[in-house]
Structure 1
């Protein structure tokens, strides 16, 4: 990726290796790269500087959760039909900072009304949530936006949820992944880029999700994206709680 142009955006997804990012130069559609970062702070320090970072990870963690949840999850789910189970319920910040599942459930129960435990799927995301939460500030909101791949695909698919799942019984579903790749190609991303072998510690779904997030980053850059919910709230540290698409 050349470093003499300025309008770079990134779509980012968490993976076993850290963070997988699709880096795109909006001034040159052929200037696209795939890179893996160990920490989210490494993404923030990337040169050339990234004007928009659209990342699939909750940003903004309230100290307590009410009956409506954190907010963004419910707003996103209503558009996703059969794909809504991909949007996990996020607990309060005290639970996210517990490294033991039993203690995380206890913290979640004590900071939610009605009391709710933590799903195992969400618990496995806690290290990534902490990685972002450790560096995120309200000032960074000009660059860093929470997104979700299935809401991104919904937006890119004419506001229709994808008809096929990415995974079946926790295993990759080739037909669902091909469906998403073809949609990304229809939005201008090259097939050879999308079909490349993912880096070690990353799955094909991670690559495609990051690519979809990069298209939402472009929408954000052009002022075309909107937050879910529109009347989003902020957490106790002043961080915005909204998923963008």
Structure 2
């Protein structure tokens, strides 16, 4: 049996929604301290869709990596959810001021690092370490962005943000739960209480990633850009979503 996982970062590490590739069984939800733990249990997923940047260019031209620039135009008012990830040397910096200095020196036009983006760097480095140690895993691990996944499910940009000034927005959460149900996830998964160490929006983002993983496994994955780029270590640089007969005409950039 093949297994799939949708993964998102959370306060306690990583939240993973794991389910069989065949059928529509409820996903098993678990929180893992490290990304590598996903591949160390009894059930090891064959396809992982994760909400975290993969592939870091040595220099950035424009507002972030190519995938970030490509998908923003599809998201309407949700564009700000796609952070601009800087060059590899900046992501590898532990100090915020140093990261900003390196980002400025390796971008055109020069751009510093946002605090929100900087807070992602430890998790980006986690995935980077795992994939660089075993490049073959790049065929199993795919970068996604939840807002692009939800936009693809709906066929147009979402109406409501999931958070407003850092506080969960009920209409936005309801909109996303409805889309997950329409995508075939059972009500018990969509309405479940998140495990300790993860928030409700983390759970929905992991489930959105699982939806993308199912489409990738079925051969309906769509990368931005297509084909994906590669960084100097051979890691792919692309954000993945999916296409179907009902939405393929509406997600072209």
Which bracket does the TM-score occupy, shorter chain normalised? over 0.9
C-alpha contact (below 8 Å) 1:71/1:232 kept by paired residues: no
Aligned twin of 2:167: 171
> In structure 2, what is the Cα distance between the partners aligned to 1:190 and 1:98?
41
Alignment of 1:112-131 (within 5 A): 112-131=107-126
Alignment of 1:1-20 (within 5 A): 6-20=1-15
Q: TM-score, length-normalised on structure 2?
A: 0.91
Matched residue of 1:124: which SS? Answer: helix
Decide which of 126, 134, 140 is 2:137's aligned counterpart: 140
Unaligned residue ranges in structure 2 (runs of 5+): 242-253
User: Do residues 208 (structure 1) and 201 (structure 2) align?
Assistant: no
Matched residue of 2:46: which SS? Answer: strand
Unaligned residue ranges in structure 1 (runs of 5+): 1-5
- Aligned-pair RMSD on alpha carbons? 1.2
Q: Deviations over 1:128-176 (max 9, x none)?
A: 0011011114311211000000000011112x11110000111110110
Cα deviation for residue 31 of structure 1 reads: 4.5
> In structure 2, what is the Cα distance between the partners aligned to 1:144 and 1:46?
17
Q: TM-score, length-normalised on structure 1?
A: 0.94
User: Do residues 183 (structure 1) and 184 (structure 2) align?
Assistant: no
Decide which of 152, 157, 167 is 1:155's aligned counterpart: 152
Q: Deviations over 1:9-61 (max 9, x none)?
A: 00000000100011111223124210111111111223322110000000000
Aligned length: 239
Aligned twin of 2:247: none
